[in-house]
Amino acid sequence: MTTVDKEKYKCLLPLIASGDEEEEKDYKGPSPRELLEPLFKQSSCSYRIESYWTYEVCHGKHIRQYHEEKETGQKINIQEYFLGNMMIKNPLADPDQEENENTKESTKEIPSKNIEGQMTPYYPVEMGNGTPCSLRQNLPRSSTVMYVCHPEAKHEILSVAEVTTCEYEVVILTPLLCSHPKYRFRASPVNDIFCQSLPGSPLKPHNLEQLEKQQEMMKMPFRRVKEEEIHSTKEEKFSSIHKPVTVGTHQLLTVGTTHISKLTDDQLIKEFLSGSYCFHGGVGWWKYEFCYGKYVHQYHEDKESGKTSVVVGTWNKEEHIEWSRKNPARTHHIKEDGSQTVRMVSHFYGNGDVCDLTDKPRQVTVKLKCKESDSPHAVTVYMLEPQSCQYILGVESPVICKILDTADEYGLLSVPS
């Protein structure tokens, strides 16, 4: 290779190994249908809270979209639509056709979806016979559930999208498909090209050296900032288990699950409610920090430029109480015995950084929801942006289950007695 300055180099292109292709060809393990069988047999459901609707995916059974409103006198009105039901008893329960279908699945092309700029394979499960759609001459609603491999996921709903009128796509992250080589998420490989200068040429091209010097000079102002911001010891208690996965929609959407284990439940609850123990989550470019009764921050950390932080909302008790007079601060769940428990509380955080699009301060509604999990200290955090610079932050954890029933009329929580 010869540069514009007539410098000459001999460059070696890397050999790209084809191990993945060989593994796919030699794979003799269970089919994707068989790998998903435990999920369908457990009769488990996944949930996703949005600004108005809650989505319920009961795997192998149905998809439901609903909204609960509590009226005076403890009566709860539920507005609901079924976006699809399984059209057979069980998508895995036809042994006579299983062998034939496994053969078809091994030879047919795997469908894929663009997830964060990369075509990612998924396994589709079709659901039909949902609630009739008045906009389509009362044809039933239908959905495609797309199961995507994610090694540390717990069958979360990543996104729900209405692709055409009353037809939906639901993306589920699951670890069950990851043992199948054709369904694994693959990062685009970066391969180094090695170059050696030829006689009469410098070790590095002159223009490359100049560019590297300029980049070093640009880094300098940020290094000091980065060092000043490394102040949180709490972050050591968090270990993010999600790789970046976001789906390109009109809403900002990130999902992240964290495990916290260094504190006892009583210590954790006290520190969380005092705002000294903050939850972190989110994947992709932006991460999120939620400190109860203090603030919600959105931030990005970069090795080169340090930490960029945006204040999404700050806590003001009087503003929240005023907000709660017009919006439901807590929602309830009716048990089989007729008693009720608090299912979710919502808190308003306003006066964030001014938004360039609206010239108004950012604001966020934080929804704290009980979520049962095999790990008692798992925390799932996700962010939605239904309107420009107006956010919904969902925080779900078994830890929250222990304190929801302490919520007062304004949804404010306290340490259980």
For position 254, what pLDDT does the model report? 42
Cα–Cα distance list, 347 to 62, 320, 329 (Å): 31, 7, 7
For position 225, what pLDDT does the model report? 38
Predicted confidence pLDDT, tens digits, the chain (417 residues):
899 999 998 888 877 655 555 555 677 888 999 999 988 888 788 888 876 788 999 999 999 998 877 655 566 778 889 999 986 544 444 555 455 555 555 556 889 888 766 778 999 999 999 999 888 888 999 999 999 998 878 888 988 888 888 999 999 999 999 888 888 766 556 677 888 888 888 888 888 888 888 877 765 544 433 333 333 333 333 333 333 333 333 333 444 444 444 445 677 788 888 888 888 876 556 788 899 999 999 888 777 777 888 999 999 999 999 999 999 888 877 777 777 788 889 999 999 999 888 889 999 999 998 877 666 566 778 778 778 888 888 888 888 888 888 889 898 988 887
CA gap 151, 174 in Å, rounded = 7
Model's pTM, two decimal places? Answer: 0.45
Half-sphere exposure of 278 (CA within 13 A, CB side): 18
CA gap 187, 171 in Å, rounded = 19
Give the largest Cα separation in the chain, rounded.
90
DSSP E strands, 241-362: 254-259, 279-281, 287-291, 295-302, 306-315, 330-334, 340-350
Structure tokens at 61: 């059974």
**Strand (E) or helix (H) holding 394:** strand 390-397
DSSP E strands, 236-286: 239-240, 254-259, 279-281
Structure tokens at 168: 């939906």
Domain boundaries, the chain: 28-88+110-174, 264-406
DSSP 401: H
For position 349, what pLDDT does the model report? 95
Determine the Cα angle at 276 with ends 274 and 280, to 5°.
115
Q: Sort residue 138 into left (φ over 0), alpha (ψ -120 to 50) or beta.
A: left
* Assigned CATH for 264-406: 2.70.130.10
Chain length of the chain: 417
For position 282, what pLDDT does the model report? 67
Residues 257 and 379: beta-carbon distance below 8 Å: yes
CA gap 118, 122 in Å, rounded = 12
Quick check: do 28-88+110-174 and 264-406 share a fold?
Answer: yes
H-only helix segments in 309-352:
317-324
Any idea which fold 28-88+110-174 has? Cation-dependent Mannose-6-phosphate Receptor; Chain A (2.70.130)
Four-residue CA torsion sign, 400, 406, 412, 415: negative
